[in-house]
Structure 1
Amino acid sequence: MKLKYLSSIAEDVIKRCSQKLDTSVEKLVVDFEGGWHPEMGNYCRKLVEFCSGKAVSELCHNIEGNINDGSFSRLTYDMMLAWERPSYYDEEDTTENVAKEKEERKITLNTTQEQDDIPLFYSDIMPLLVNNEPNVGEDAFVWLGSLVPLVADVANGRFTFESLTAPTGNRLHFPAYDMFLKEMDKCIRHLQKHATPNGVELAEDEYILHVDGTASTQRVVRHIGSTSWPGRLTLTNYSLYFEASGVIRYEDALKIDLSKNIEQSVEPAATGPWGAQLYDKAIIYDSTDLSETVVLEFPELTSSTRRDHWLALVREIMFLHQFLSKYQIKCPIQTWELHARTILGIVRLQAAREMLRISPPVPTKFLIFSLYDEIPKGDYVLEELADSLKKGNNGQSCSASSILRSMNISKTVDSCIITDEASQADGSVNVVDDSPLLEAAIKQSREEEKEILIAKATTEELKDEGVIDSVLVITELLKPLKHVVPWFQEIFTWERPIITLAVLAASLMIIYMEWVGKTFAAFLIWAIIKMLDARKKKIREKCYEIVISRSSMASDQSTMESIVSAQHGLYTIHDMMQIANIAMLKIWSILISKADKVLVRFFSAVIMILVKIDSNI
């Protein structure tokens, strides 16, 4: 059957979907047109979505085998291509763009030779991640994640895509996509081989997600006071276990329950000999259940990548259970679905770290709850995520829990969950309808994150230009006024009535008796006495330099408010601060008798003023 207006890749995908479903293309088209209306929009794209959703439901039954033989990655990648270029006209536009890119590439190669400037990372990893075939963009990747939450999750799929395609110009090529899926399969099979921690019996729905400190990995050290104990660290979707190394075997594990609804926190920390904070490669866990904090160090030669990785994973499990408690998600189906999505997020992170080992990605880009805990408006996204979960509006033809079961991770799943998912799979798969509120919240949060990054870059630029230093200097020079201003405020607000009345009476007397000149002369004499006193106490020798502490710049504003204030305000006052600093430094030099020539001129001016006042009198 010749399908009208469809691109060649879309037509090929629909035919392969019909073969996978053991049906004809005509029947698929008839089923689709039975529920399609012109108001739904792009006919070709909706047809691709319909057929892909049907085929993916079938693929999910044996997803592990399909990944191993490459059929899953090839078909799902072509689905993304077909979704991105569903019609014949889209294919023509793509062909023209590819031709232009090839022509520009030829011109570039003929005019410039920049091979020596290409970083080692790109020259080594690029041949493994790209090819000359068509590539897919972000929207297609997120759409596939809405169909099958193995490659991505709709909640953070855009951030995942951004991290995966950073080396390849934000375009996903088939070699990278295929490698990513195979690394995920390897990670899952590797996790299934780990032994249960000693002295611990895992719950039925508790699964090991990450292990470190074994003979084949780097060390993990627990610090207790002045002693250190190497051991094995195991993370599950409920708890963190540390087993100290014994002579022959590991000792019984220390259990840190991350699922309890108690006050608990995990933060980065620095460790070193005799309590000196020299190596910033540790995490510190604190909770009301423990009598003392737990300090775990992840030794590395250079960076603190391992520590940051573990910190993100532990926080993700904590935030998962806090999310379940906050939004009162008690249904077993919904709870396990969130657990499954979190587990798959951690597996994606592990696979990306293996694929991009030379330049590991930021862990939070793959973790749902850790990501939205740190970016602006993340709480709104989590609210929409909870609402869509409670309404059952995930629009997925196969769920995260069914994928884990298909990959032999969750063997002891509640029968009610299996029954519910089976009923969903047997139903007709319509065109995927993502939650518009969730998508809008994600888009807004992502845009604000980009604005924050731009503002932070601007702030760093201001620091390089010396604006922040000018703020520090002017703050230090104005510090003596800190005590004078409150004194004047107390006088003006009548907090000290006696002093206020005395000042008022003195002011009236000076004005009535026309003693303004004499008062000014008295003030100048007082200033001279202060300068002579400063010379007598040798303050100029003590004040050889002004020491400025950066801690004095601490502010009560939030991080976002501080960044925005710096971006909009510091440029305009930079020049004014420089002028004010110079003027105040000169005045300061006069007051402490630092400049002898200036002091002589000042005394001469004062004497001339006094003589003039005396002659007028």
Structure 2
Amino acid sequence: MKKKCLSPIANDVLQKCAEILGTTVYALVVEFEQDFEPGTNDYARKLVEFCCSKALVNLCLYIDEKISDGSFSQLSFDMMLAWESPSSSNEDLYTESVAKEREDTKIFPKEVTGAQVDDDTLLFYSDILPLLVDEERHVGEDAFVWMCSLVPLAADVVNVRFAFEALTAATANRFHFPGYDKYIKEINKYINYLLSLQTPTGVELADDEYILHMEGSANAQRVVRHIGGTSWPGRLTLTNYALYFEASKIASYEKALRIDLSRQGVDHKVRPAATGPWGAPLFDRAIVYESSQLSEPLVLEFPEITSATRRDLWLTLIKEVILLHQFLYKFNIESPLKVWEMHARTILGVARLHVVRELLTISLPVLRNFLLFSLFDELPKGDYVLEELSTALKQMSTIHPCSASYILKRLNISHPILERTEHKKVLEETSGGPLENLPSLETTISQVREEAKEVGIAKATVEVIKEEGLGVNLLIFFELISPLKDVLSFWQEIITWERPIITLFVLTMMMVIIYKEWIGYAIAASLLWCVGKMIWARYKRVGEKYNEIVVCTCSDQTTIESIVNAQHGLKNFQEMLQTANITILKIRSILESRAPKHTNQVMLVLIAVAILLLVVPFKFILMATTSHYFLMNLKLRKFKSNYKGNRRLREWWESIPVTPVRVVDKTS
């Protein structure tokens, strides 16, 4: 039975769904229309969603077999096509768009880049690229998101849009079937590869503990542990609970050192580091793990010639495991089924990340885009998404057959509690998709994505400044603070009475503000003045007229003059540093009574100031200080300057002995 209102691909998908469910299309339509309101729009798409969700529940029970023979990839891709073009009108529009594309370009590479095939495209599709020449069927982001909300194999619904951007960056944000089919099959292959890895020496993994990554074995790249001045090559293994390092022996490995990443109450710290001979930070290829469960930091190096991609991968994966357990602890997720569901989603995320790194080897994607917790730990307001996720997880009453837990169970990675759960009981209690309890999650994720784009644009402008050298940054700094010179010059004119009327006005206002205790009002007025300046700048479009700051690096000085000026600058800096050290040492001498006479004088002055502050209101002291500051620069008083007083104060300061300083090296 074919419905005229549906597109050909939608009719084909409904027929396949009926075969999987052992029923007819007519029976599915009748069941759908029992709950469908006639006035509701989008009848065709709702019908496709209803039939596909029921069929996928049955399909997920044998997903391992369906992935191997390619039927899952083909059917799920057809479902996405049917979702995008459910009605006959959608099909006509799609046909027109394809025809227009073929007029613009005859082959797939030009369709993608407009000029030539991107290197990532060649690598991703490899030997199946010729099949894409006539491949007109491809799906977009929304269809991919819908499919992953039903079967979270290709991506997790929480970070599916970030994953889709990375997967389709080289194909104009459209996912073609050959690439999708290869991607799904490679995920299955990688999970089988993880199951074949050897357990760390002397360790018995827990029933729900599985290896996520391993390096350092005979057929893999080296991993080196640094302990003081010695280095120990070995094998490094990461599971969903811990990190294991096994030092290499002649033909085997020593007993593994276990770092428990799931332990709470421990401050887990992992960061990048540089290593080299005698501790010199020459090669930025290492990570350092620190926590209270270790007596000394664990330093692991991942030797590479050209980059630090291995180190970055390990760093990201270790953080992901730590953040997983922190999430479970923070939101008090205690149900074994729900805990394992989050473990399963993490394991699938790691598998997807490894597959994409193998497929896209030249321009590696952003690692965090395929991992759940690392992504939203770094994104602005990502904690809101994790809160929504925990709420939805707590509301979940049963594990769906298409959930991450059951997908991994069919792929031979399971929790013992799932072995006791009967499929029939789960099917009877299941309705809808595995993530139907996330109504507000999509909205929160969309908001986070928009803010992440804004932050990304802002960070891109910052990186340009960071790439400049010391000299250029100094020039930029002096150029940025140059407006302050005008402010300081204007203030200097006020306090020196070069503008007497303005000086009298400022002095009077300051006296009134201090006497009336209007400091808060004055600060508020200053803030409102800043707001007014910003509004004025927006009205005059200052940001558009001056969209960049020009800093000139040229100089009228010769090379010799520049060198001499640099030497003078260095000498002046050295003198300033010496003066600062001497000042600190003299103050220390006074505090420690190394100069008893000076200490007594300072104590008497401090006592007098304290009594003055107790007796006289502070506002009068502040008024007197302010008026003295202004009046001391008045031309009528300059001839009365206290020359003798300044000289005696300088002589008193110079007579204070400093605390002796002895410089020694470490060996003496």
Give, in whole Å, the separation in 1 of the partners of 2:545 and 2:328.
45
The answer to whether the aligner puts 1:141 opposite 2:138 as a matched pair is no
Match of 2:606 in 1: none
1:107 Cα deviation from its structure 2 partner: 11
Could you tell me which amino acid in structure 1 is paired with residue 188 of structure 2?
D
Change (3 A) 1:169 1:428: same
* 1:450 counterpart SS class: helix
Change (3 A) 1:304 1:569: farther
Give, in whole Å, the separation in 2 of the partners of 1:477 and 1:88.
66
- Superposed, 1:137-536 pairs within 5 Å as 137-261=140-264, 262-392=266-396, 398-410=402-414, 412-414=416-418, 418-419=421-422, 422-427=424-429, 429-430=431-432, 433=436, 435-460=438-463, 470-474=475-479
Q: Deviations over 1:438-473 (max 9, x none)?
A: 101110111111112222233445778999654323
- Kindly indicate whether the alpha-carbon contact (under 8 Å) linking 2:123 and 2:361 is maintained by their aligned counterparts in 1: no
Change (3 A) 1:203 1:433: closer
Give, in whole Å, the separation in 2 of the partners of 1:390 and 1:105.
51
Could you tell me which amino acid in structure 2 is paired with residue 423 of structure 1?
K
Give, in whole Å, the separation in 1 of the partners of 2:123 and 2:204.
44
Q: Deviations over 1:15-65 (max 9, x none)?
A: 001111111111111111112224653111111111111111111111111
Deviates more, 1:353-362 or 1:217-226: 353-362
Q: Deviations over 1:263-308 (max 9, x none)?
A: 1111111111111111111111001111110011111111111111
- Kindly indicate whether the alpha-carbon contact (under 8 Å) linking 2:215 and 2:223 is maintained by their aligned counterparts in 1: yes
Match of 2:36 in 1: 36
* 1:167 counterpart SS class: coil
Change (3 A) 1:219 1:77: same
1:331 Cα deviation from its structure 2 partner: 1.1
Give, in whole Å, the separation in 2 of the partners of 1:233 and 1:571.
56
Match of 1:606 in 2: none
Higher relative contact order (CA 8 A, sep 6+): 1
How many correspondences in the alignment?
A: 509
* 1:295 counterpart SS class: strand
Give, in whole Å, the separation in 2 of the partners of 1:279 and 1:442.
38
Match of 2:573 in 1: none
1:201 Cα deviation from its structure 2 partner: 1.4
Give, in whole Å, the separation in 1 of the partners of 2:79 and 2:335.
33
1:323 Cα deviation from its structure 2 partner: 0.3
- Kindly indicate whether the alpha-carbon contact (under 8 Å) linking 2:275 and 2:284 is maintained by their aligned counterparts in 1: yes
Give, in whole Å, the separation in 1 of the partners of 2:480 and 2:22.
76
- Kindly indicate whether the alpha-carbon contact (under 8 Å) linking 2:333 and 2:339 is maintained by their aligned counterparts in 1: yes
Give, in whole Å, the separation in 2 of the partners of 1:200 and 1:92.
61
- Kindly indicate whether the alpha-carbon contact (under 8 Å) linking 1:66 and 1:72 is maintained by their aligned counterparts in 2: yes
* 2:226 counterpart SS class: strand
- Kindly indicate whether the alpha-carbon contact (under 8 Å) linking 2:349 and 2:370 is maintained by their aligned counterparts in 1: yes
- Superposed, 1:33-72 pairs within 5 Å as 33-38=33-38, 41-72=41-72
1:435 Cα deviation from its structure 2 partner: 2.0
Match of 2:4 in 1: 4
TM-score of the pair, normalised by structure 1: 0.75
Give, in whole Å, the separation in 2 of the partners of 1:315 and 1:107.
43
Give, in whole Å, the separation in 2 of the partners of 1:108 and 1:155.
31
Change (3 A) 1:38 1:287: farther
Q: Deviations over 1:464-495 (max 9, x none)?
A: 899965432347889999xx99xx99xx9xxx
1:215 Cα deviation from its structure 2 partner: 1.2
Change (3 A) 1:444 1:69: same
Deviates more, 1:429-438 or 1:22-31: 429-438
Change (3 A) 1:427 1:331: closer
- Kindly indicate whether the alpha-carbon contact (under 8 Å) linking 1:222 and 1:230 is maintained by their aligned counterparts in 2: yes
1:424 Cα deviation from its structure 2 partner: 3.8
- Superposed, 1:534-613 pairs within 5 Å as 572=546
Give, in whole Å, the separation in 1 of the partners of 2:451 and 2:23.
47
- Kindly indicate whether the alpha-carbon contact (under 8 Å) linking 1:13 and 1:79 is maintained by their aligned counterparts in 2: yes
1:216 Cα deviation from its structure 2 partner: 1.3
Could you tell me which amino acid in structure 2 is paired with residue 333 of structure 1?
L
Give, in whole Å, the separation in 1 of the partners of 2:148 and 2:285.
34
1:429 Cα deviation from its structure 2 partner: 3.3
Could you tell me which amino acid in structure 2 is paired with residue 17 of structure 1?
C
- Kindly indicate whether the alpha-carbon contact (under 8 Å) linking 1:50 and 1:429 is maintained by their aligned counterparts in 2: no
Could you tell me which amino acid in structure 1 is paired with residue 234 of structure 2?
G
Give, in whole Å, the separation in 2 of the partners of 1:394 and 1:373.
28
Change (3 A) 1:274 1:476: farther
* 1:100 counterpart SS class: helix
Could you tell me which amino acid in structure 2 is paired with residue 472 of structure 1?
F
Q: Deviations over 1:385-419 (max 9, x none)?
A: 11111112899652111111111111633556x25
RMSD between aligned alpha carbons? Answer: 3.8
- Kindly indicate whether the alpha-carbon contact (under 8 Å) linking 2:123 and 2:359 is maintained by their aligned counterparts in 1: no
Could you tell me which amino acid in structure 2 is paired with residue 391 of structure 1?
Q
Change (3 A) 1:156 1:108: closer
- Kindly indicate whether the alpha-carbon contact (under 8 Å) linking 1:397 and 1:425 is maintained by their aligned counterparts in 2: yes
* 1:150 counterpart SS class: coil
Give, in whole Å, the separation in 2 of the partners of 1:388 and 1:355.
33
Give, in whole Å, the separation in 1 of the partners of 2:411 and 2:271.
34
1:242 Cα deviation from its structure 2 partner: 0.5
Give, in whole Å, the separation in 1 of the partners of 2:315 and 2:228.
21
Could you tell me which amino acid in structure 2 is paired with residue 303 of structure 1?
S
User: Structure 1: any 5+ residue segments left out of the alignment?
Assistant: 493-502, 512-567, 583-588, 594-617
The percentage of counterpart residues that share the same residue type is: 51
Give, in whole Å, the separation in 1 of the partners of 2:376 and 2:203.
32
* 2:269 counterpart SS class: strand
Change (3 A) 1:414 1:88: closer
- Kindly indicate whether the alpha-carbon contact (under 8 Å) linking 1:393 and 1:434 is maintained by their aligned counterparts in 2: no
User: Structure 2: any 5+ residue segments left out of the alignment?
Assistant: 501-541, 557-564, 570-668
1:3 Cα deviation from its structure 2 partner: 1.1
Give, in whole Å, the separation in 2 of the partners of 1:455 and 1:394.
43
Give, in whole Å, the separation in 2 of the partners of 1:108 and 1:254.
51
Q: Deviations over 1:239-278 (max 9, x none)?
A: 0000010122100001011001111111111111111111
